[in-house]
Amino acid sequence: MICRRICRKNPWSFSQRWRSVSSAAAPPSSNVAGFEIISTIRAPAIIFMKPRKLFYFRNPYKGNCLSISFGTKGCNLTTQAISDHPIDGVVDVPLAQTGEGIAECELLKWFVNEGDEVDEFQPICEVQSDKATIEITSRYKGKVLKFIHAPGNIVKVGETLLKMVVDDNAFPSQHLGAPEITKPPLVSNASELDVVDIGFKKANIGGVVCTPAVRNFAKQLGVDIENVPGTGKDGRVLKEDVSSYASNEGILKESLGLYTASSDEREYEDRTITLRGFQRAMVKSMTLAAKIPHFHYVDEIKCNSLVELKTSFQNENSDPGVKHTFLPVLIKSLSMALTKYPLLNSCFNEELQEVTLKGSHNIGIAMATPHGLVVPNIKKVQSLSILEITKELSRLQQSALANKLSSDDISGGTITVSNIGAIGGKFGSPLINVPETSIIAIGKIQKVPQFDDDENVYPALIMTVNIGADHRVLDGATVAKFCNEWKLFIEKPELLMLQMR
């Protein structure tokens, strides 16, 4: 700010005066405007028709270093830290914030290899938080120099993922040309001078070239990948190279010795598994759920009419991409019951002692995937038809199996349904998905004998449901009335026609 005011009031004091001293053999030794000269740079000839010296000054006051460049029209100021510039053209690419409350992610896989050219915004890797799977794109255009992490590692937000060699144009220079560094004159107190080098040197692209899988394989064997000679193209280290090196060093025998044993004496080793991704999310949510006083209400629902309705849907289905099941009808009928009893579609804030009745029926469906338990939700069920619910449910199931659920898919739920009957079991005792106030576990449909009013035995298709409720918010009578309303729509699905809009 001081320089800006002086420059505006007396432009010659910087521009013209600087020109008069710039042709000197050495820069002036005295301080100018309270700034100490810390390095000099020779500007390109296109600025002043012939090479001139360009001085950089360091602010003697506390705070960020203020770099000042002088041109033909006065001075330009920037508060950009010198540390933001790449060192020798190499930049660290950190893991950016992937969502609110996310502190770390698991690195799933790399989309690029070391030595590959990368464009700006090109996907470079895939990470998984406890909420979703996300693709990380490159902020720069350049070449991948070195991977810092291998797939399977836990990376904290802000930690370096990889190093890149950026192009000269990746960081726009404040000068008209690439500055040439001129060494400052030798002085007795040279160790105290902070020399600022903003020139982009060509990086020495070294290190070991190998795929993340090979690097991870070497890590499992306890082999330093830097010591393994590569036999692949351009010295690339292959998996065979790691195995050969480990065998020659005796490391492979030690590793295999843990698992080899005679038929008489077998050693069974314990394994420690680190919980990742959705499994970590389940630990957090279930820990919170254990603090909630649960109230469970169990009932049986006759599903004869539901089975007939599903069979009718499937017989009249003309779209091969749509598969009709019981669940979409159960979800729609559940939404109809929530309209009458909105307290079950709410969230509880313990600190404020407030209950928020949610306007949208975002019904979550618990899904067991190879990556762990995940609960995506179908948004605004009250405004969807049964066919639309069927298609959205299918999309969520496919995305969950492929580990491609977005943050929006798994956030914003208001009530959860766990269809444990699809796997097996008559019923379960579910735990609430905080901050929701209710959850429903659905058992499998079984054919059991029952008596009619005339005491005649007839076969009935019975489904057991277990409603878990937060007893701080919901009482038993409210849950029982809600279940009776839902049960009515399931046993007589034709009543849905009277209520649906």
Taking only the tens place, the pLDDT of each residue in 426-474 is 878 899 999 999 999 999 999 999 998 888 999 999 999 999 999 999 9
Beta bridge partners of 297: 467
Q: What distance in Å separates the CA atoms of residue 116 and residue 345, rounded to the nearest whole number?
A: 50
Arithmetic mean of pLDDT over the chain = 76
pLDDT tier, 204 (very low <50, low <70, confident <90, very high otherwise):
very low
Contact, 306 vs 490, CB < 8 A? yes
Cβ within 8 Å of residue 460, ≥6 positions away: 302, 304, 447, 448, 449, 450
pLDDT of residue 217: 83
Distance of CA 495 to the CA centre of its chain: 44
Q: Which residues are catalytic?
A: 471, 475
Task: Judge contact between 363 and 377, C-beta under 8 A.
Answer: yes
- Whether 265 shows a pLDDT value over 70: the answer reads no
For 149, 261, 340, 408, 435, the CA distances from 413, given in Å and listed in that order, are 34, 51, 19, 10, 9
pTM over 0.85: no
The pLDDT of residue 96 is 85
Average pLDDT over residues 170-175: 44
Question: In the prediction, which pLDDT does 102 show?
Answer: 81
